[in-house]
Amino acid sequence: MKKIFVCLGLIFIGLSVSAQSDIESRIDSVMARLSVKEKIGQLNQLDGRSKVPYLESLIANGQLGSIMNIVDYKEINRLQKMAMENHPHIPIVFSRDVVHGFRTMLPIPLGMAASFNPALVEEGSKVAAVEAGENGIRWGFGPMIDVSRDARWGRIAESFGEDILMNELFGVAVVRGYQWDDLSNPATMAACAKHFVGYSATEGGRDYNSTYLTERQLRDIYLPPFKAAVENGCASIMTSFNDNDGLPTSANPWLLKDVLRDEWGFDGVVVSDWGSVGELSNHGVAVDKADAARYGLNCGTDMEMSSKTYINHAEKLIEEGSVEMAVLDNAVRNVLRLKFRLGLFENPYVADPVEVKTGCQEHLDAAEKVVEESVVLLKNDGVLPLDKSVRTVLLTGPLADAPHDQLGTWTMDGDTTMTVTPADYFQKAFGRKVKVIYQPSLVYSRDKDTSSFAALREKATKADVIVACLGEEAILSGEAHCLSDIGLKGEQTALLEMLAATGKPVVSIFMAGRPMTIAHEVELSSAVLYAFHPGTMGGKALARIINGEVNPSGKLPVTFPLHVGQTPMYYSYKPLGRGHKAMTQIDDIPRNARQSVLGHSCSYLDTGNKPLFNFGFGLSYTRFELKDMTAAVEGDKVHVTATLSNVGERAGAEVVQLYICDVKASRTRPVKELKAFEKVYLEAGETRKVELEIPVSRMGFYVTPSQYVVEPGEFKLLLGTSSETTLGKTITL
């Protein structure tokens, strides 16, 4: 039997090698018939919402390699026919931002990360690929895998949070979900890992700002998710807007060539983020647009999104020798390779869908499952799940019936008519014995009109339980949408204060694109559910959680600061020379206090240095016990076991998280780093032995930008059901 598997394996390897070499020879034959102008045309990607005659003229002259943002497959076929019938008869690849769903919207990526279930997110991403493919999109600009640690940055919404491993695992899940195992299948689409790299460390949490990351930081923190995506076959990479250490990434040959190509062997396409090649002149690195094109090409940015410097200047740059023909050829080969891998030469047109899958029930169910596992229970005084004695539920708040905002940022093709809001579903979920009164109050998250409060208060006094849906409109997070204050907007806090003052238990549901500073609102609530922006099926999943059909199992993928002034804030901070011990807080400082009486640690006099909620935290309707931890080094792995018991009255899932701390190293190392986790589903009363493994090779760091080491010595292994770990062992490597 083993021999058979070995033979099959060799055959498979042989087939994939021959398929690759077949593609390379087919690229050779296409390249041979391209003029310089036509080669440059393959590197040009434009927005399909440009003037159609302009697009058609470029296609007729072989000047357009990719078009973004057309999602009418008949129009796509019409333009594709032009490309196939005109010299050089090269198919166009049609692309779109597919970040968390296409028509059926999944939770925003930050919400999906809260599921701590990459396999589930892979299934959800397949749904996105099928729907996008059905509409002609074969290149989706996702996953966004920027390790994000600043809640002021609007794009934290698009990431899988603050942790390196989480962005690695969820990024790979999306790549697999989009690309499956055969990119030539029209139900797949090329993934695009973005934004390469370090963009999320933007100074001040303000988008597009400079970053000042050392190569060591890039190696240790920001590059690993991209490396994992490339190792798992991600078809493309998108360069980021930021200038890091003085060099915009679209013009950084160390990143785009030395690391991406030479070290990682990436043979896909590097596409610039919107205009970021043209913007090299705004950065002041390029003297003009021609110089920007020279930089972009020579530094390894293959395809230029939207800024047209390549089609306007590259021919002259080649003529004058500022860009070698080999550089141009290499970029064009990368683009053609993508198109061959997508099967576009054999199959350039979008088939009329036999059975339309977009928005089908199967997809809605898949999306709902992701939401159910992505909602985080942050507080519960016992009001949830709703008791059978509850007869009247008052539902209110600006996010209770917000079909657009519930979908979150980057909802390019999300269909708001499909959105199931809490107002749509609560009554159905709670059944006839419960009367759900939906009483609108603030109409949107920034609403300052409190005129509805009096009537609402009247209704609230008659309810057994109040559910308040609060948070952010979709527009308040995402690209360029950064906030210096991440608290609730408008009069939402006043609304909650009024509701709490009725003495009725209030269940607060937050829908937002980021962690919000909600300590006061949590205090006012009997229970808190954080759903991020939960997407199309948010209302149904939340209703089923509140009525107890679903036991929430989400965990926070980001630290929630107590105050915005604490950001950036994350769990994997360094031990420091002066530590993090609490200092005298501002209200306790004696009058005329002498200089050195308050303590000396890394903290704030007014808010301390503790978060509101820790990374990895989330409650359940049942209770779990984690004990009997063991740890051992077994060859090239560290093996950890523990016993997890469900000691409550109902089934549930718990996320066992394993962190390491390199106690003594030649560079300062974080107090803890997540290295493995497992989501364990247990029936009431069930006990299971949980086993987690860490490859020793994953326990190191870059001691210099070119030297990765796993230093011998003592390591703490820290185990828990949040980053506030409860069990520990020490091992020595």
Task: Show which residues are catalytic.
Answer: 273
Residues 6+ apart with CB under 8 A from 550: 372, 541, 544
Sequence length of the chain is 733
CB of 612 to ligand GLC, least distance (A): 29
Nearer of residues 152 and 194 to ligand GLC, judged by Cβ: 194
**H helix intervals, 398-533:** 422-430, 453-460, 492-501, 519-524
Nearer of residues 141 and 532 to ligand GLC, judged by Cβ: 141
- Which amino acid is present at 273? D
Residues 691/697/698/699 CA torsion (nearest 10 deg): 90
Q: How many CB atoms lie within 10 A of CB 352?
A: 10
CB of 69 to ligand GLC, least distance (A): 7
Cis peptide before 109 (omega within 30 of 0): no
Cis peptide before 195 (omega within 30 of 0): yes
CB of 558 to ligand GLC, least distance (A): 19
Nearer of residues 49 and 428 to ligand GLC, judged by Cβ: 49
3-state secondary structure of 254: helix
For 320, counting Cβ atoms within 10 Å of its Cβ (0-12 exposed, 13-18 middle, 19+ buried), the class is exposed
Nearer of residues 72 and 606 to ligand GLC, judged by Cβ: 72
Nearer of residues 94 and 274 to ligand GLC, judged by Cβ: 274
**Applying CB under 6 A, which residues contact ligand GLC?**
97, 141, 194, 273-274, 479
Q: Which helix (H) or strand (E) holds 17?
A: helix 2-32
| 476 in Cβ contact with 447 (< 8 Å) | no
Nearer of residues 27 and 192 to ligand GLC, judged by Cβ: 192
User: What is the rounded distance in angstroms from the CA atom of residue 524 to the CA atom of residue 493?
Assistant: 9
Integer angstrom CA distances of residue 117 from 66, 140, 529, 539 = 34, 22, 18, 21
For the chain, count helices (H), then strands (E): 20, 25
CB of 256 to ligand GLC, least distance (A): 17
- Using the CB atoms, write b or e for 250-268: b if 16+ within 10 Å: bbbbebbbebbbeebebbb
CB of 733 to ligand GLC, least distance (A): 40
CB of 130 to ligand GLC, least distance (A): 20
Residues 225/227/229/232 CA torsion (nearest 10 deg): -140
Nearer of residues 144 and 468 to ligand GLC, judged by Cβ: 144
Give which of 110, 62, 111 is closest to 82, Cα–Cα: 62
CB of 168 to ligand GLC, least distance (A): 19
CB of 144 to ligand GLC, least distance (A): 7
Nearer of residues 271 and 470 to ligand GLC, judged by Cβ: 271
- Using the CB atoms, write b or e for 519-530: b if 16+ within 10 Å: bebbebbbbbbb
Q: What is the DSSP code string of 396-415? A: ESTTTT-TTGGG-S--SS--
User: What is the rounded distance in angstroms from the CA atom of residue 592 to the CA atom of residue 597?
Assistant: 11
